[in-house]
Structure 1
Amino acid sequence: MAPRERKTVMTRFLNGIETAGNRLPDPFMLFVMLAVAVIILSAIISLFDVTFVQPGEEGEVAIRSLISGEGLEFILTSMQDNFVGFAPLGNVLAIMLGIGLADKVGLLETAIRSTVTKAPKTMVTYAVIFVGICGNLASDAAFVIIPPLAAMVFHNLGRHPLAGLAAGFAGVGGGFTANFMISGADALLSGISTEAIRSVNPDIVVTPVDNWYFMISCVVVLTVVGALVTEKIVEPRLGKYEGSARKEMGEITSLEYKALKFAAFASLAYIALLLVVIFLPNSPLMNEDGGLAGSPFLAGVVPIILFLFITAGVTYGVKVKKITSSSDVGSYMGSAMKDMSGFIVLIFAASQFIAYFEWSNLGSWIAVTGADTLQSIGLTGIAVILGFILLTAILNLFIFSGAAQWALEAPIFIPMFYYLGYNPAFIQVAYRIADSSTNVITPMNPYLIVVLGFVRDYDKKAGMGTLIAMMLPYSIFFLLTFVAMFLLFYFLGIPYGPGIEPHL
Structure 2
Amino acid sequence: MENAKKQGTFIRILNGIERIGNKLPDPFMLFVYLAVLVMIASFIFSQFNAAVIHPGTGENLAIQNLLSGAGLQFILTSMLENFTGFAPLGLVLAMMLGIGLADKVGLLETAIKKSVLKAPKAIITYAIVFVGIMGNIASDAATILIPPLAAMVFYRIGRHPLAGLAAGFASAGAGFTANLLIVGTDALLSGISTEAAKILDPSIVVTPVDNWYFNIVSVFVLTLVGGLITEKIIEPKLGTYKGEAVEADIGEEHPKASKGLRNAAIAGLLYLGVLLALILLPDSPLRNEEGGMIPSPFLSGIVPIILIFFLVLGVAYGKTTGAIKQISDISKYMTESIKDLAGYIVLIFAAAQFIAYFTWSNIGTWIAVNGAEFLTSINLTGITVIIGYSVFTALLNFLITSGSAKWALEAPVFVPLFMQLGYHPAFTQVAYRVADSSTNIITPLNPYFIVVLSFMRQYDPKAGLGTLISLMIPYSVIFFITWIILILIFFYAGIPFGPGITPYL
| TM-score in same-fold range (> 0.5) | yes
Q: Does 1:259 align with 2:257?
A: no
Q: Distance in 2 between matches of 1:374 and 1:292?
A: 36
Q: Is the 8 A contact 2:117 2:149 kept in 1?
A: no
Per the TM alignment, residue 55 of structure 1 is displaced from its structure 2 partner at its CA by 1.0
The corresponding residue for 2:219 is 219
Alignment-mate amino acid for residue 267 of structure 1: G
Q: CA deviation at 1:461?
A: 1.0
Measured in 1, the distance between the counterparts of 2:287 and 2:143 equals 37
What's the CA shift for 1:6?
6.7
- Please show how residues 432-471 of structure 1 align to structure 2 within 5 Å: 432-471=433-472
In structure 1, what is the equivalent of residue 328 of structure 2? 327
Alpha-carbon distance in 1 for matches of 2:12, 2:199: 42
Query: 1:338 is aligned with what amino acid?
Result: K
Post-superposition offset of 1:400: 0.6
Percentage of matched positions with identical amino acids: 62
The equivalent residue for 1:496 is 497
Q: Is the 8 A contact 1:151 1:164 kept in 2?
A: yes
Asked whether 1:302 is paired with 2:303, we answer yes
Whole-angstrom distance in 2 between the partners of 1:427 and 1:329: 38
Q: How does 1:351-362 map to 2 (within 5 A)?
A: 351-362=352-363
| Alpha-carbon separation, structure 1, partners of 2:329 and 2:59 | 59
Long gaps (5+) in structure 2 = none
Note if contact 1:108-1:138 (Cα within 8 Å) is conserved in structure 2.
yes
* TM alignment of 1:113-128, pairs within 5 A: 113-128=113-128
Structure 2 residue 13 is matched with structure 1 residue 13: yes
Q: CA deviation at 1:266?
A: 0.4
Is 1:166 paired with 2:166?
yes
Cα contact 1:293–1:498 (8 A) shared by 2? yes
- Quote the residue 2:246 is aligned against: 246
1:82 aligns with 2:89: no
**DSSP-derived class of the 2:485 partner:** helix
Deviation digits for residues 200-243 of structure 1 (CA, Å, limit 9, x no counterpart): 11111000000000000000000000000000101111111122
Q: Matches of 1:345 and 1:291 in 2, distance apart?
A: 40
1:20 Cα deviation (Å)? 1.0
Structure 2 CA distance, aligned partners of 1:235 and 1:250?
Answer: 28
Could you report, residue by residue, the CA deviation over 1:390-413 in whole angstroms, capped at 9, with x for unpaired residues? 011111111111100000110011
TM-score, structure 2 as length reference: 0.98
DSSP 3-state at the match of 2:241:
coil
Residue 7 of structure 1 and its aligned partner are, at CA, apart by 4.3
Matches within 5 A, 1:91-130: 91-130=91-130
Report the equivalent of 2:233. Answer: 233
User: Residue 476 of structure 1 corresponds to which residue in structure 2?
Assistant: 477
- Partner Cα distance (1:56, 1:121) in 2: 58
Question: Do the aligned residues in 2 keep the contact of 1:163 with 1:230 (CA within 8 Å)?
Answer: yes
Aligned-residue offset at 1:289: 2.0
The CA deviation at 1:178 is 0.2
* Deviation of 1:443 (Å): 1.2
**Could you list the per-position Cα deviations for residues 362-395 of structure 1 after superposition, in whole angstroms to 9, with x for gaps in the alignment?**
1110111100001111111111111011011111
Deviation of 1:246 after TM superposition, in Å, equals 3.2
Please give the alpha-carbon distance, in whole angstroms, between the structure 2 residues aligned to 1:457 and 1:304: 43
Output the CA distance in 1 between the equivalents of 2:360 and 2:213: 34
Does the alignment pair 1:416 with 2:417? Answer: yes
103-112 or 275-284: bigger deviation? 275-284
Other-structure match for 1:58:
58
Deviation, 1:40, is: 1.1
Question: What stretches of structure 1 move > 3 A for 4+ residues in a row?
Answer: 4-9, 248-254
| Mapped partners of 2:84, 2:391: distance in 1 | 33
- CA separation in 1, counterparts of 2:123 and 2:351? 43
Q: Which amino acid in 1 is paired with 2:386?
A: I
Structure 2 distance, partners of 1:127, 1:194, is 35
Change in CA separation of 1:158 and 1:251 when aligned onto 2, cut-off 3 Å? farther
Structure 1 gaps of 5+ residues are none
Q: Relative to 1, partners in 2 of residues 1:329 and 1:379: Cα closer, same or farther, differing over 3 Å? A: same
Tell me, yes or no, if the aligned pair for 1:21 and 1:399 is still in contact at 8 Å.
yes
Letter of the structure 1 residue corresponding to residue 465 of structure 2: M
Q: Which moved more, 1:86-95 or 1:49-58?
A: 49-58
Deviation at 1:473? 0.3
Answer yes or no: is the 8 Å Cα contact 2:56–2:201 preserved in 1: no
Contact in 2 for aligned 1:174/1:474 (Cα 8 Å): yes
State the 1:5 CA deviation: 7.4
- In angstroms, what is the RMSD of aligned CA positions? 1.2
In structure 2, what is the Cα distance between the partners aligned to 1:14 and 1:284? 55
Report whether the alignment pairs 1:369 with 2:370: yes
Equivalent residue number for residue 177 of structure 1: 177
Give the CA deviation at 1:102.
Answer: 0.4
Residue of structure 1 equivalent to 2:30: 30
